[in-house]
Amino acid sequence: MTDQERQAWAVGEPEPRWNRRLLLGAGLTLGGGLLLSGCGRHEQVPEPTLRVSITGKGEGDQERLQQLAGLTTPGFKVSFAHFESGHLVIEALNSRALDYGSMSEIPPIFAAASTTQSFRQIAVLHGDVNNQVVLVPKGSPIQTLADLKGKRIGYVRATTSQYFLIRMLRSVGLDWKDITPVAMGVSDGAAAFSSGALDAWAIYGFPIQRALATQGARILKTALGFLSGNYIISAHVDALADPKTSELIGRYLQVTRQAYAWATSHQDEWTAAIAQEIGVPLAYVRDQFARKSASYALRPVDAAAIASQQEVADVFASAGLIPRAVDVRPLWDDRFNAILQRKA
């Protein structure tokens, strides 16, 4: 129960003195309704609920994917909450509003550099990086990454878009100070880009296809070669400490693996559903899928995944974008590796 839902109960009224004989008579008069209604019945225990994040739409919509794949979670319910970006998922985990959430490698690094990390990283979701790009408006004179110098570029703070933008700039001898970076959320970025307030936009997911389809935008560069393709599954430390909730997380990981396996083998159905959800022509989503660098799949925690995230952390530290260097190893928990190594 939330604070808003709590109601104050009135106190101080004396307890009424019921006549025992009258009470018994009333119970029997009402067909045994008061005294006998519980006979032969068992109170139904509500199913436990796992609180799970969904980041973005399209391929990030795990709820829709599981519905299409016909997958259920017998014995427990899943309550989905939608977020625009991974750093908001981290905030929700830290505030104990989620049990389980997904994000890129970057948001946990910013959390690790702060005083609050109420989560552990329990699995790797490896997938596409060609759905993360720098977009330029229709008719833009920008043709290369070097042309970004001095330009006003939108990005989402503490996400992959900030990281790959830094690396792209460095690849052509530019630095963060050589552009005018504009941090904004996905919705605000979309509005700024469509209105001409940005020279370029570092962004991910379905806004790319929408900008291509409705505004004539152009992809300047994808994140292939700049991102590892690793995304992170995290769980709240309290959820992991509770044996029952930890068991639900393990079972949900198996369902998630099955969902991604279904998406890989039913690409036509999945692309059609995504196109309908994000409101763009099917051809654009098919084009995105055709350019995929990899299909999504869950992987166990291993040394390579930890090293990849550490490299990202070091880039942010060297750019002065986090207050201190961080060691990401304490964020990882491999307790579900045996489940993740099974066949989906």
pLDDT tens, per residue, the chain with 344 residues:
444 444 333 333 333 333 433 333 434 333 344 333 444 556 677 899 999 999 988 888 999 999 999 999 999 999 999 998 888 999 999 999 999 999 999 999 999 998 888 999 999 999 999 999 999 999 999 999 999 999 999 999 988 999 999 999 999 999 999 999 999 999 999 999 999 999 999 999 889 988 999 999 999 999 999 999 999 999 999 999 999 999 999 999 999 999 999 999 999 999 999 999 988 899 989 988 999 999 999 999 999 999 999 999 999 999 999 999 999 999 999 999 999 998 76
Q: Closest Cα partner for 189 from 169, 225, 165?
A: 165
Residues 246 and 107 in one domain: yes
Domain with 118, as residue range(s), is 49-127+229-340
Q: Are residues 260 and 299 in the same domain?
A: yes
Same domain membership, residue 204 and residue 324: no
Name the domain boundary from 205, 222, 239: 222
Do 183 and 296 belong to one domain? no
Residue 12's pLDDT is: 35
- Per the listing, tokens 């070091």 go with 314
**Which residue, among 123, 137, 293, 126, has the nearest Cα to 220 in the 3D structure?**
137
Q: Is residue 10 situated within a structural domain?
A: no
Residue 295 domain-assigned? yes
H-type helices in 85-171, by residue range?
86-94, 106-112, 160-171
Task: Specify if 55 maps to a domain.
Answer: yes
Same domain as 63, residue 110: yes
Residues 93 and 236 in one domain: yes
Residues 254 and 138 in one domain: no
Pair (234, 98) in one structural domain: yes
Residue 142 per-residue DSSP state: -
The residue with tokens 């530290």 is: 317
What's the structural domain count of the chain?
A: 2
pLDDT at 3: 45
What's residue 42's pLDDT? 61
Is 17 inside a domain boundary?
no
Is residue 199 a part of any domain in this protein?
A: yes
pLDDT confidence of residue 60: 85
Same domain? 251 vs 268:
yes
Last residue of a domain, one of 181, 198, 222: 222
Query: Among residues 222, 243, 267, which one ends one of the domains?
Result: 222
Domain shared by 101 and 234, yes or no: yes
Within a domain: residue 21? no
Q: What CATH number is associated with residue 199?
A: 3.40.190.10
Q: What is the pTM of this model?
A: 0.81
35 part of a folded domain: no
Contact in structure between 300 and 337 (CB atoms under 8 Å):
yes
Residues 104 and 206 in one domain: no
248 and 121 co-located in one domain: yes
**Reduced DSSP (H G I as helix, E B as strand, rest coil) percent helix, strand, coil of the chain, to 5:** 45, 20, 40
